Amino acid sequence: MSANGRREMAYRHYVAKQTKERRHAMARAQKAANRQLKEKMKSAVPSEPQMTTSVESSPGSWSEPMAPPVTVSASGAIANQTDSEPAQP
């Protein structure tokens, strides 16, 4: 193996090692953060539920009349469509 090939292999090994160490460090940090959050949530005391309501009156926004809902049958539409087509001789 040439000196240049050894150098390339060494560099690839170095990069892989650095990447692996960085991944492990990130995993350790994430694990610690999750552990702290879990402890914090466990020690937290839930407060009484608070209900807040407000009524806004804006003229004309909800007072408009609405049309009643229309029910459409898909099977009837398909059946009517096939009946109205002329038959090919």
Distance CA 13, CA 22 (A): 14
Q: What is the pLDDT of residue 52?
A: 79
Q: What is the pLDDT of residue 60?
A: 56
Distance CA 24, CA 28 (A): 6
Q: What is the pLDDT of residue 57?
A: 64
Q: What is the pLDDT of residue 12?
A: 97
Residues 6+ apart with CB under 8 A from 9: 1
Radius of gyration of the chain (CA): 35
Q: What is the pLDDT of residue 81?
A: 54
The label of the residue with tokens 């692996």 reads 20
Distance CA 32, CA 28 (A): 6
Residue at 32: amino acid letter: A
- pLDDT tens string, the chain, 89 residues long: the values are 899 999 999 999 999 999 999 999 999 999 999 999 999 988 887 777 777 777 766 655 555 667 777 777 776 555 555 555 555 65
Q: What is the pLDDT of residue 45?
A: 76
Q: What is the pLDDT of residue 33?
A: 97
Torsion sign (Cα): 79, 81, 86, 89 = negative
